[in-house]
Structures are given as C-alpha cells and as structure tokens.
C-alpha cells in the first residue's frame, strides 16, 4: 500500500554519461503512471514493469529531455504483439505539436493546463504551471492516503506550495549547485531546499541535475536550506511514501 516513486533517469537537460534524462514511475492505488519520458527512461522502465503495465503517461512540457522516449513507446504499443489503444497521455498542448505524428488512437491525448485535474485508476492528478520557458506543468499525485509532488522544470518564480499542503515527498529539480545561475528557468539546490522548507514538504528528493554538477554538493547545500536530510534521485531506486 502507499505510493512509490521509481527513478528512471535524473539528468537535467541532456543525458550524462550512462545516464537517462527525466523520468519516473509512480505506482499506487492499483495504477502505474510513467511521469516524464526523457531519453533513456524507456530502457530503464522495463527493469521495473512491462510496457503493457503502463496505465498512463504524464509529460510535463515540450523540452525533449522530458518526453522524447514516448516516440518509442508509441511504436511498441502500436506495432507490438498486443496492440493497445486509448492509452491516456496527459500533457500541455505544446508536447503534441512536437511529436513526429499524432499517435492516436494508440494514445488518448488529454491536453491539460494550469489547475487541471485528472485521474488514473485510484490516483488523482492536479497540475500547476511553473516558472519555465514553454508551458510547463508540475503535478501533484494523491493515492492510497499519500501525496507526491513533482516540480517538473521551474525557476524560483514558482513554489512547491502551489501543489498544496501535506506533500509526503517532493521530487524537485535542482539543476545547479552554488550560486551559479545557468540557463534561466531552473533552480539551484539551495533554492530547491529553501522552497521545500517554505512549502512544508516532509521529504525532499532532488533531481534534474545538470550532468556535470557534483550531486553530493547539491544535496549538502539543499539540506542546509531545507533544515533536514535531502535525498538524491538515483536511477532504478524506488522510494516509498
């Protein structure tokens, strides 16, 4: 019982050596959701579930490090041994404009925006527009009495608090360490920790690391701002809420 989050990749913006970009499996309440499908995540997903077990896909935004493996998933579901139809894909409008084809009726596109809600089995989803270039949607997922929040990509102009109270675990982007401001629309580890503290989240898991940053340093900086221990999203690890 409860929710679990399995990390399929945690490289930010481009895959580091031997790594995958953003992707997670959220399981609970009898449902399996593939949350973001960056390059390399489909390969890792199959260590944990079969492709047929994926009940729905959630894509946060149109940057390719968050959705590109949905192309391969479409091919597998469309032409595989057991063709499927109507797989729900929740995404802002911009993602659908980037895919190589419409992909329906294999996929049932659910175009979502700020404040939208949805459900997959017993999991309840609620989306929030973040501080990031193209329309980007953070998501809160509730189920089995637990609450999970995912920041997607965001700058400091958005807060985890927008996902509401009582998050048992927040998975938050932490693209950079120190005060180095890289590409706009991202957080440093210290900003991620400070925001998680303000938002009152119980547990903080950092992800979307620029491939060359020192993740341990990020965790130390985030922990100092959070006021408690902080975890580093590790590929193929499962986190129980």
- Which positions touch Zn ion (CB under 5 A)? 63, 65, 153
Question: Of 109 and 209, which CB lies nearer to Zn ion in the complex structure?
Answer: 209
Angle at the Cα of 187 from the Cα atoms of 64 and 169, rounded to 5 degrees: 90
Cβ nearer to Zn ion, comparing 143 with 185 = 185
User: What's the closest the beta carbon of residue 199 comes to Zn ion, in angstroms?
Assistant: 21
Q: Over the Cα atoms of the chain, what is R_g? A: 16
Instruction: Give the nearer residue to Zn ion in terms of CB position, either 210 or 239.
Output: 210
CB 111, min distance to Zn ion, A: 18
**Shortest distance (Å) from residue 26 CB to Zn ion:** 18
- 10 Å Cβ neighbour count for 217? 12
Least separation in angstroms between CB 92 and Zn ion:
12
Length of the chain: 241
Nearer to Zn ion, 65 or 142 (CB): 65
* CB distance 18 to 161 below 8 Å: no
Peptide bond into 127 cis (omega under 30): no
CB nearer Zn ion, residue 70 or residue 87: 70
Which structure tokens are listed for 191?
A: 């900003």
User: Among all chains, which residue has been given the structure tokens 């130390």?
Assistant: 220
Minimum distance, C-beta of residue 203 to Zn ion, in the bound complex (Å):
22
Closest separation in Å from C-beta 78 to Zn ion:
27
Measure Cα distances from 239 to 21, 22, 142, 214, 234 in Å.
18, 16, 15, 22, 10
- Of 9 and 28, the one with the shorter C-beta distance to Zn ion is 9
Helix axes 215-226, 189-199, angle to 10 degrees: 30
């Amino acid at each position: 019982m409860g929710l679990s989050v399995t990390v399929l990749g945690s490289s930010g913006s481009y895959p580091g050596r031997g790594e995958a970009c953003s992707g997670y499996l959220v399981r609970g309440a009898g449902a399996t959701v593939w949350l973001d499908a960056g390059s390399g995540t489909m390969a890792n997903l199959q260590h944990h579930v079969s492709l047929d077990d994926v009940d729905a896909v959630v894509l946060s935004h149109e940057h390719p490090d968050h959705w590109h493996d949905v192309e391969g998933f479409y091919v597998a579901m469309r032409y595989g041994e057991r063709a499927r139809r109507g797989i729900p894909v929740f995404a802002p409008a911009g993602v659908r404009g980037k895919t190589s084809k419409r992909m329906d009726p294999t996929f049932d596109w659910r175009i979502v925006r700020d404040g939208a809600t949805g459900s997959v089995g017993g999991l309840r989803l609620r989306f929030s527009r973040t501080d990031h270039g193209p329309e980007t949607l953070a998501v809160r997922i509730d189920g089995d009495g637990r609450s999970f929040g995912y920041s997607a990509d965001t700058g400091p102009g958005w807060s985890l608090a927008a996902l509401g109270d009582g998050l048992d675990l927040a998975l938050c982007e932490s693209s950079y360490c120190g005060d180095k401001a890289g590409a706009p629309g991202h957080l440093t580890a210290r900003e991620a920790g400070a925001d998680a503290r303000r938002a009152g989240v119980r547990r903080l898991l950092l992800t979307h690391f620029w491939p060359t940053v020192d993740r341990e340093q990020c965790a130390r900086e985030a922990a100092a701002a959070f006021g408690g221990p902080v975890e580093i999203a590790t590929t193929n690890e499962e986190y129980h809420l």
